[in-house]
């Protein structure tokens, strides 16, 4: 692996350029997307490509962590939070502080130039060291990590569990709605259904008509009359009931009655 | 391509950990786990008494443990934990102050609705949920495990000799406090805003710390403070990267001590958080953060002190001046105390700048004296109430001293101590810090500090004048008679302030004998 | 050749297949649009109107995601431990057991407080 890296062979160069292209594309998409969800998805693209680069640079553990934790879990949390805030609530484009956007763009470009040229000039003529020390000693990157975690950084590792506990406790404290009334069991529910004066059995099926066949039409009862009981509550709430053409119903009734009415 | 198969597995060499030396932290962590377990399996009504026994038992056991360990001076766990004099002194102070803050958290007499924390932090403010939970007398006992985790983080923070452990400890310390800050029973939106602001800015500061850590690792090839010090003295020429690293690490830590310009969260967080949590933030977190700041600067970067002291000079001057001047304009006592804590952080930084054993000892003395006075002041704030809860607006304090002379007198004493008037602990603290700075040649800084203390004396005196030299009005709040918990805290704050002010020698001996940081 | 070349080739093939399918379908398929075709299909009833602001998710999702992250990070620590298990021996086993038990305590808390129940 090491020899391959130092040789700088074609495969690695190719992987780098492909991943670099897609991560820069993702980063740009992250910035220019108007919708927060799109930005989040672009960011996932950046992260996956960075993970591939990490793996290609002999840091498989970092690559795996990037995919498992960041792309898999943290990005999903981002998405959930965005959806909690409202998917479509795109940021207002009105500047609250005058000249903020111009200043932001200038500072961003300045920072980018500083990073590219600063790091670029610092790294062009320097030889990379430490890869053998990190991956070679324990014959593997992940083994090396395990070595460090369980020897030099044992205490931070164990204390991390306190952090995880706090995170879970905090999520529960902030987001878990405890019930104040115990949940009704199925038996209690069925008792309540029969004890009340309502309709204990199944509600009627939606009506089936020649021109329309969906849940939003009232049921057709055996006696030829219609009832709104078959329509789901949310549809009723938003006024989505499709009225039945009563002339037709009456006509059908008339035909079935044999023209006696 | 499968190197493991190539050779027989050789076992990793296990690094020895002196569990006896780090037992104070382990006790707190273990009890915190038990406390979470209690939350899971103990019935609702029994939780509070069990948690109180656990929390205060843990603090007592840890304090006794610290006393038996007082002579320990060692670095253990592969150099990542330093159990030295300053660490032990700060851990002891953190335990004592956290126990007092826990008493404020346990207080149930001052608020007519019971607990100082929300019935359910997850219920929306003003919702049916909230009303139902309050009506049923529910309250959250999760604050107790959170408190214990936070205290464990602080204790580890002051003895971390390794940037990685320091970072983990920083988060273990901060996360529970972000949470607890958002759990006030009254003025919940304000409290949640405080929590969010503190969290967002805190996360930002953590990112700075982390970046500084990465740069330091890039420079020194290690995150161990001792190894960093070796690398610093070995190649002082490469100072660009190193200076950036020091700046980033300092920003992360200066945020926690609320130094200007990293103080923006302080007034909102102090005002919105439940007063008991504010007391915890203002005392123990400050001690822990100064401990870590000094350890990083003294141990790892002591070799290039001439490079970072100018930066710290500017921060210290800004902190003292901005804190004192803005505090003058505040009309809310909690916000005023917040800016006062900013100003005090500036005075403490003066001691940090005197990079010497004397400076270290003076800072230890100052943070302990300040901690006790502050916790007393917040305890007093928590008992001054009107119909809407805590009466924090200063107009409601007019004539309070005539209505309730004892409370007024105690708060005046604490204010005098903040101002640094002789015969209070604050005076001795300021004297120690300033003389350490002068001994190190920072005379101009001390002159600025003295001017800032004069300005700060103005707003401390204003509270006293308001309480004693104006007539009580309709709007004047009244002092609720608290249970033994808050009474103990107020008494402890006042007693320590007076006793240390009159007879400072025992505490001075303690901090002077603590010696220097190990590495 | 580099060990990652097969993966690269696989990636190119997968990408190429996806692009080819979509492109072919869009080029060869008939295009006769009407309003009903672009409508969301909801069992014959009028499509549910989009709520204002795109609708909001209940906060329960956050709880689930957060708990997932917590145990996900636990697994990240298990990975190097498992790979180097033979060289960590009994000591590593004990440390990992301590770690898992501590995180398990909060699992017990979440379970007992019904944090795992959706309702």
Residues of C in contact with B40 (CB under 8 A): 105, 108-109, 111-113
Q: Which residues form the domain of C43?
A: 5-112
- The reply to whether residue B10 touches residue C86, judged by beta carbons under 8 angstroms, is no
Contacts of B194 (CB under 8 A, 6+ apart): B181, B182, B268, B269, B270, B271, B272, B273
Helix (H, G, I), strand (E, B) or coil at A227: strand
Helix (H, G, I), strand (E, B) or coil at B308: helix
Omega before B261 within 30 of 0, i.e. cis: yes
CA distance A111 to chain C (A): 32
Q: Which residues pair with B160 in a beta bridge?
A: B81
Chains touching B, CB cut-off 8 Å, 3+ pairs: A, C
**Highest mean pLDDT, choosing among A182-191, A205-214, B184-193, B489-498:** B489-498
Phi, psi torsion values for B117, nearest 5 degrees: -105, 160
- The reply to whether residue A169 touches residue B156, judged by beta carbons under 8 angstroms, is no
Helix (H, G, I), strand (E, B) or coil at B238: coil
Using the Cβ of B44 and the Cβ atoms of chain A, whether some distance falls under 8 Å is answered with: no
Q: Identify the band that residue C36 occupies on the pLDDT scale cut at 50, 70 and 90.
A: low
Q: CB-CB: which of B1, B41, B122 is closest to C3? A: B1
Using the Cβ of B9 and the Cβ atoms of chain C, whether some distance falls under 8 Å is answered with: yes
Say if C25 falls within a structural domain. yes
pLDDT digits (tens, 9 = 90+) for A131-158: 777 777 777 888 888 888 888 899 999 9
CA distances from A170 to A96, A158, B55 (A): 33, 19, 19
Phi, psi torsion values for B30, nearest 5 degrees: -65, -45
Q: What stretch of H or E contains A226?
A: strand A226-227
Say if C56 falls within a structural domain. yes
Average pLDDT value for residue range A90-103? 71
Q: Is residue B477 predicted with pLDDT exceeding 80?
A: yes
Q: CB-CB: which of A4, A64, A167 is closest to C79? A: A64
Using the Cβ of B19 and the Cβ atoms of chain C, whether some distance falls under 8 Å is answered with: no
Alpha-carbon span B31 to B53, nearest angstrom:
11
Burial of A72 (0-12, 13-18, 19+ CB in 10 A): middle
Using the Cβ of B129 and the Cβ atoms of chain A, whether some distance falls under 8 Å is answered with: yes
At C26, which CATH number?
A: 1.20.58.1610
Residues of A in contact with C80 (CB under 8 A): 61, 142-143, 145-146, 149
Q: CB-CB: which of C59, C86, C108 is closest to B37? A: C108
> How many CB atoms sit inside 10 A of residue A46's CB?
21
Residue B159 CA, distance from chain mean position: 15
Q: Identify the band that residue B218 occupies on the pLDDT scale cut at 50, 70 and 90.
A: confident
Q: Identify the band that residue B442 occupies on the pLDDT scale cut at 50, 70 and 90.
A: confident
Position A3 scores a pLDDT of 44
Q: Is residue A88 predicted with pLDDT exceeding 60?
A: no
Position A1 scores a pLDDT of 41
Furthest-apart CA pair in chain A: how many Å? 102
Q: If you average pLDDT over every residue of chain A, what do you get?
A: 81
Using the Cβ of C93 and the Cβ atoms of chain A, whether some distance falls under 8 Å is answered with: no
Using the Cβ of B10 and the Cβ atoms of chain C, whether some distance falls under 8 Å is answered with: yes
> How many CB atoms sit inside 10 A of residue A129's CB?
9
Q: Are B90 and B158 in contact (CB under 8 A)?
A: yes
Q: Which residues pair with B479 in a beta bridge?
A: B384
- The reply to whether residue C76 touches residue A154, judged by beta carbons under 8 angstroms, is no
CA distances from B197 to B73, B181, B192, B270, B287 (A): 39, 10, 9, 11, 21
Residue B155 or residue B219, greater confidence: B155
Closest C-alpha among B119, B152, B115, B139 to residue B33:
B152
Residues of B in contact with C91 (CB under 8 A): 14
> Could you give the domains of chain A?
1-88 (1.20.120.1200), 202-256 (no CATH)
Q: CB-CB: which of A140, A152, A166 is closest to B78? A: A152
Q: CB-CB: which of A1, A151, A169 is closest to B78? A: A151
DSSP string of B357-406? HHHHHHHHHHHHHHHHHHHHHHHHHHHEEETTEE--BGGGGTTHHHHSHH
Using the Cβ of B78 and the Cβ atoms of chain A, whether some distance falls under 8 Å is answered with: yes
- The reply to whether residue A179 touches residue C114, judged by beta carbons under 8 angstroms, is yes
- The reply to whether residue C83 touches residue A140, judged by beta carbons under 8 angstroms, is yes
Helix axes B225-234, B188-220, angle to 10 degrees: 50
- The reply to whether residue B29 touches residue A159, judged by beta carbons under 8 angstroms, is yes
Q: If you average pLDDT over every residue of chain B, what do you get?
A: 91
Alpha-carbon span B439 to B210, nearest angstrom:
34
Residues of A in contact with C69 (CB under 8 A): 69, 73-74, 77, 167
Q: CB-CB: which of B36, B79, B156 is closest to A159? A: B156
CA distance C89 to chain B (A): 7
Q: Which of C62, C63, C106 to mutate to probe the B interface, most B CBs <10 Å?
A: C106
Residues of A in contact with B219 (CB under 8 A): none
Say if C45 falls within a structural domain. yes
Using CB atoms and an 8 Å cut-off, which of residues 104-133 of chain A contact chain B? 130
Residue C7 or residue B348, greater confidence: B348
Burial of B216 (0-12, 13-18, 19+ CB in 10 A): buried
Alpha-carbon span C114 to B83, nearest angstrom:
41
Position A94 scores a pLDDT of 65
ipTM: 0.91
Residues of C in contact with B123 (CB under 8 A): none
Position A5 scores a pLDDT of 46
Cα first-last separation, chain A = 92
Average pLDDT value for residue range B286-299? 95
pLDDT digits (tens, 9 = 90+) for C68-112: 889 889 989 999 999 888 888 888 899 999 999 999 999 999 999
Helix (H, G, I), strand (E, B) or coil at B2: coil
> How many CB atoms sit inside 10 A of residue A26's CB?
21
User: How big is the A-C interface in CB pairs under 8 Å?
Assistant: 181
CA distance B188 to chain A (A): 13
Average pLDDT value for residue range B107-130? 85
CA distance A151 to chain C (A): 9
Residues of A in contact with B156 (CB under 8 A): 155, 159
**C-alpha neighbours within 13 Å on the C-beta side of residue B282:** 37
Say if C117 falls within a structural domain. no
Residues of A in contact with B13 (CB under 8 A): 151
Q: How many domains is chain C partitioned into structurally?
A: 1
CA distances from A4 to A12, A58, B68, C1, C12 (A): 9, 11, 57, 8, 21
Contacts of B319 (CB under 8 A, 6+ apart): B259, B260, B263, B342, B343, B345, B346, B349
Alpha-carbon span A38 to A85, nearest angstrom:
15
Q: CB-CB: which of C84, C105, C111 is closest to B37? A: C105
Query: Is the model's pTM score more than 0.90?
Result: no
Position B155 scores a pLDDT of 95
Say if C15 falls within a structural domain. yes
Contacts of B297 (CB under 8 A, 6+ apart): B246, B250, B305, B308, B312, B352, B355
Residue with tokens 């910035």: A31
Q: Which two tokens stand for residue A18?
A: 């492909």
- The reply to whether residue B179 touches residue A147, judged by beta carbons under 8 angstroms, is no
Average pLDDT value for residue range B103-121? 87
Q: Identify the band that residue B238 occupies on the pLDDT scale cut at 50, 70 and 90.
A: low
Q: Are B429 and B511 in contact (CB under 8 A)?
A: no
Using CB atoms and an 8 Å cut-off, which of residues 120-159 of chain B contact chain C? 122
Average pLDDT value for residue range B31-51? 93
Position A2 scores a pLDDT of 45
Nearest CA in chain C to B34: C105
Residue boundaries of the structural domains of chain B = 19-513
- The reply to whether residue B175 touches residue A163, judged by beta carbons under 8 angstroms, is yes
Using the Cβ of A84 and the Cβ atoms of chain B, whether some distance falls under 8 Å is answered with: no
Q: Is residue A261 predicted with pLDDT exceeding 60?
A: no
H helix runs in B235-332, sequence order: 239-256, 265-272, 275-280, 286-294, 305-328
- The reply to whether residue A150 touches residue C45, judged by beta carbons under 8 angstroms, is no
Using the Cβ of B11 and the Cβ atoms of chain C, whether some distance falls under 8 Å is answered with: yes
Chains touching A, CB cut-off 8 Å, 3+ pairs: B, C
Using the Cβ of A143 and the Cβ atoms of chain B, whether some distance falls under 8 Å is answered with: yes
Using the Cβ of B493 and the Cβ atoms of chain A, whether some distance falls under 8 Å is answered with: no
What does the radius of gyration of chain C's CA atoms come to, in whole angstroms? 25
Residue A7 or residue B427, greater confidence: B427
Residues of B in contact with A132 (CB under 8 A): none
Closest C-alpha among B111, B113, B117 to residue B143:
B117
Residues of A in contact with C87 (CB under 8 A): 138, 143, 146-147
Using the Cβ of B136 and the Cβ atoms of chain A, whether some distance falls under 8 Å is answered with: yes
**C-alpha neighbours within 13 Å on the C-beta side of residue B176:** 28
Q: CB-CB: which of A18, A84, A146 is closest to C81? A: A146
Closest C-alpha among B397, B396, B295 to residue B91:
B295
Residue B309 or residue A196, greater confidence: B309
CA distance A43 to chain C (A): 18
Using the Cβ of C113 and the Cβ atoms of chain B, whether some distance falls under 8 Å is answered with: yes
- The reply to whether residue B36 touches residue C105, judged by beta carbons under 8 angstroms, is yes
Q: Identify the band that residue C55 occupies on the pLDDT scale cut at 50, 70 and 90.
A: low
Alpha-carbon span A66 to A54, nearest angstrom:
9
Using the Cβ of B14 and the Cβ atoms of chain C, whether some distance falls under 8 Å is answered with: yes
CA distance C15 to chain B (A): 27
DSSP string of B456-517? HHHHHHHHHHHHHSS---TT--EE----HHHHHHHHHHHHHHHHHHH--HHHHHHHHHT-PP
Q: Is residue C52 predicted with pLDDT exceeding 70?
A: no
pLDDT digits (tens, 9 = 90+) for B376-426: 999 999 999 988 888 889 889 988 888 899 999 999 999 999 999 999 999
Alpha-carbon span C74 to C9, nearest angstrom:
33
């Amino acid at each position: 692996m090491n020899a391959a890296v130092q040789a700088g062979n074609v495969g690695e160069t190719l992987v780098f350029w492909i991943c670099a292209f897609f991560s820069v594309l993702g980063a740009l998409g992250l910035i220019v997307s108007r919708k927060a969800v799109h930005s989040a998805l672009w960011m996932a693209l950046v992260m996956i490509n960075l993970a591939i680069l990490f793996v290609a640079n002999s840091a498989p553990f970092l690559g795996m962590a990037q995919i498992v934790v960041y792309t898999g879990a943290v990005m999903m949390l981002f998405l959930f939070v965005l959806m909690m805030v409202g998917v479509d609530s795109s940021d207002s484009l009105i500047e609250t502080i005058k000249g903020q956007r111009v200043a932001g763009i200038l500072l961003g470009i300045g920072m980018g130039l500083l990073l590219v040229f600063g790091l670029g000039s610092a790294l062009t003529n320097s030889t990379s060291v430490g890869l053998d020390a990190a991956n070679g000693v324990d014959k593997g990157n992940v083994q090396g990590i395990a070595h460090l975690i369980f020897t030099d950084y044992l205490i931070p590792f164990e204390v991390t569990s306190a952090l995880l506990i706090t995170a879970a406790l905090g999520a529960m404290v902030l987001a878990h709605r405890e019930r104040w009334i115990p949940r009704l069991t199925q038996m209690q529910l069925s008792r309540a259904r029969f004890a009340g004066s309502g309709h204990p059995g199944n509600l009627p099926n939606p009506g089936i008509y020649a021109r329309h066949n969906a849940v939003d039409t009232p049921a057709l009862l055996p006696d030829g009359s219609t009832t709104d009981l078959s329509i789901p509550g949310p549809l009723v709430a938003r006024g989505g009931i499709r009225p039945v053409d009563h002339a037709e119903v009456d006509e059908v009734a008339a035909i079935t009655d044999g023209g006696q009415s | 391509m499968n190197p493991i198969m190539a050779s027989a597995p050789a076992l990793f060499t296990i690094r020895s950990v002196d569990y006896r030396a780090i037992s104070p932290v382990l006790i707190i962590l273990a009890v915190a786990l038990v406390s979470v377990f209690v939350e899971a399996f103990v019935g609702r009504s029994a939780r509070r008494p069990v948690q109180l026994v656990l929390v205060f038992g843990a603090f007592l056991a840890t304090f006794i443990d610290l006393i038996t360990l007082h002579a320990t001076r060692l670095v253990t766990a592969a150099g990542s934990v330093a159990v030295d004099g300053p660490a032990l002194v700060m851990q002891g102070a953190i335990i004592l102050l956290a126990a007092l803050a826990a008493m404020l958290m346990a207080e149930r007499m001052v608020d007519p609705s019971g607990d100082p924390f929300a019935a359910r932090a997850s219920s929306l403010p003003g919702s049916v949920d909230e009303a139902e939970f309050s009506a049923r007398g529910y309250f959250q006992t999760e604050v107790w495990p959170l408190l214990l985790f936070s205290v464990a983080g602080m204790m580890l923070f002051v003895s971390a000799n390794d940037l990685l452990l320091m970072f983990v400890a920083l988060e273990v310390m901060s996360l529970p406090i972000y949470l607890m800050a958002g759990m006030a029973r009254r003025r919940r939106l304000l409290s949640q805003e405080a929590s969010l602001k503190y969290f967002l800015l805190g996360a930002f500061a953590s990112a700075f710390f982390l970046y500084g850590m990465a740069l330091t690792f890039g420079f020194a090839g290690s995150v161990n403070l001792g190894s960093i010090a070796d690398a610093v003295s070995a190649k002082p020429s490469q100072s660009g990267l190193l200076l950036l690293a020091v700046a980033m690490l300092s920003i992360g830590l200066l945020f926690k001590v609320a130094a200007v310009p990293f103080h923006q969260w302080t007034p909102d967080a102090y005002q919105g958080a439940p007063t008991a949590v504010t007391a915890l933030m203002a005392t123990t977190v400050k001690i822990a953060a100064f401990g870590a700041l000094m350890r990083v600067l003294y141990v790892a970067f002591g070799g290039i002190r001439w490079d970072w002291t100018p930066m710290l000079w500017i921060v210290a001057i800004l902190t003292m001046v901005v804190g004192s001047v803005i505090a003058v304009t505040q009309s809310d006592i909690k916000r005023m105390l917040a800016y006062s804590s900013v100003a005090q952080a500036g005075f403490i930084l003066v001691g940090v700048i005197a990079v010497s054993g004397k400076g270290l000892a003076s800072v230890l003395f100052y943070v302990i004296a300040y901690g006790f006075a502050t916790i007393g002041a917040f305890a007093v704030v928590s008992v001054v109430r009107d119909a809407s809860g805590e009466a924090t607006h200063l107009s409601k304090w007019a004539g309070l001293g005539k209505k309730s002379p004892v409370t007024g007198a105690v708060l005046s004493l604490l204010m005098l101590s903040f101002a640094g008037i002789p015969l209070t602990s604050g005076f001795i603290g300021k004297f120690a810090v300033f003389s350490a700075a002068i001994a190190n040649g920072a005379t101009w800084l001390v002159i600025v500090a003295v001017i800032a203390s004069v300005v700060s004396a103005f707003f401390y005196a204003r509270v006293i004048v308001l309480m004693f030299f104006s007539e009580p009005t309709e709007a004047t709040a009244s002092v609720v008679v608290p249970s033994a918990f808050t009474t103990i805290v107020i008494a402890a704050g006042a007693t320590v302030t007076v006793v240390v002010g009159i007879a400072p020698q025992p505490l001075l001996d303690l901090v002077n004998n603590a010696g220097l940081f190990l590495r | 050749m580099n060990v990652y070349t097969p993966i690269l080739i696989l990636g190119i093939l997968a990408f190429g297949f996806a692009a080819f399918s979509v492109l072919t379908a869009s080029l060869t398929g008939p295009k006769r649009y009407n309003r009903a075709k672009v409508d969301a299909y909801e069992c014959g009833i009028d499509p549910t109107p989009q709520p204002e602001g795109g609708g909001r998710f209940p906060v329960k999702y956050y709880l689930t995601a957060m708990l997932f992250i917590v145990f996900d990070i636990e697994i990240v620590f298990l990975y190097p431990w498992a790979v180097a298990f033979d060289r960590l021996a009994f000591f590593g086993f004990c440390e990992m057991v301590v770690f898992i038990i501590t995180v398990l305590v909060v699992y017990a808390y979440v379970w007992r407080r019904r944090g795992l129940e959706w309702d």
